[in-house]
Amino acid sequence: MSEKQRKRRRLRCFGHIVNLCARAFLIGKDGAKVCKELDIAYRDGDLKKIGELWRKRGAIGRPHNIVRYIRASPQRRQFFRSIILGGDLTEFDKLELIQGQQTRWNSYFMSIGRALNVKERIQIFCDQYEPGQGQKDLSEDRLSPMHWKELEHLHDQLETFYEGTMMTEGRNATLADHFQTLDWLLNEIQVAKHKFQELHQDLLRRKWRETQESEEFAWLAAAAEVSWQKCEEYFNKADDTAAYYAAISLNPTLKNEWYNKAWTDHDEKRPWIVSASTAVKELWLDEYKGKYSVKQPFPSGVLSTSTSQKDKAFTSVRNHKRLKISHQSSRPQAHGVDSLDQFVETDIIPLSEDESFALFSTGMSATTRSLTSHKWHLMLSDKAASVD
């Protein structure tokens, strides 16, 4: 197997990519080095070193230290529980703090979100709790109004990574979902990068050059840039694995129209439309065209007779496109007709907002079976067309 073929078969874990991008956003430059130092400190039980390393991370590190401090003893946890605000904040009075986990970067979205919800209780704890003799206090980790504002921006951006993870979870996620979500994630990080850069420049225009707030927004912009570079790195790696593009091109509700819709208005991405379709074509010619016998039986899952709850919606779409997607026989194609071109050039199947197309779900709908059967027939009949 050639190096190109090996790369073509390399599929990456989307959750791992999200973790790397989120880590880059939270830690910034030298993320791997910082994480290694944290690992050593945790392994050695060096709480002082752990606190120092997190404190250097700015607003994200301070609440991490505060949460760890409060959760470290039953007395502190009980004192925090005893802080009751009432009134409009009653719903937050019973909430416990959530500790972010270094190996699960999405946990910081939950941790910061909880800290923002119980902001007043955290401030009261820092003001009123008196540590015992010889015990450390939280004076070095107190959060200023500027820190809380920065945490709000951090939480908004971390929601992007959390949403990206949720969108690709479950049994119905496909390679198409992987690449589409990665493309969306790249766009969202770029928007955040520009937003933080504009906030930083706005403060500079107001001649607040020396203020800490200006520097914090500069840090956020730099962190977003590092995260964007990491996301772009894995986005570009998709070029080596044409299966990502093929998953979109062979989805009858997307096909190559998705590239046109998503990339046409972007000067940088517009040339990728041709590159993606070319990669799919090359994959088809190298790996599939003419390599399957017309006598080969269909996989059992393709012709499954099970139905799903959404059959009515999919049946409506099937009826609307019946002439384009129905296939009654496996008769050979005319000479010179390429199966992939024939499939891609037909119209896509439109879906309404409450419809979905789960190609690999356990219970295939009527439309799914029809479409999959049609594509399988095209692949198998291409062998007959190529040898005639």
238: nearest Cα among 166, 327, 175, 144: 175
224: nearest Cα among 55, 34, 21: 21
Instruction: Give yes or no for a contact between 17 and 234, defined as CB atoms under 8 angstroms apart.
Output: yes
pLDDT of residue 82: 93
pLDDT of residue 223: 87
The per-residue pLDDT string of the chain (388 residues; one tens digit each, 9 = 90 and over) reads 788 888 888 899 998 999 889 988 888 777 778 888 888 988 888 888 888 888 887 788 889 889 999 998 999 999 999 999 888 888 888 899 998 877 677 888 999 999 999 999 999 999 999 888 878 888 888 998 888 988 999 899 899 999 988 888 877 788 888 999 999 999 999 999 998 888 878 877 775 545 555 566 778 888 899 999 999 999 999 888 999 999 999 988 889 999 999 999 988 889 999 999 999 999 988 888 887 655 555 444 433 334 444 444 334 223 322 323 333 434 444 555 687 888 888 778 777 766 666 665 434 444 444 444 444 454 444 444 444 4
Sign of torsion, CA 297 294 176 14? Answer: positive
Instruction: Give yes or no for a contact between 53 and 37, defined as CB atoms under 8 angstroms apart.
Output: yes
Number of H helices, E strands in the chain: 18, 0
Q: Helix 14-27 vs helix 212-237: angle between axes, to the nearest 10 degrees?
A: 160
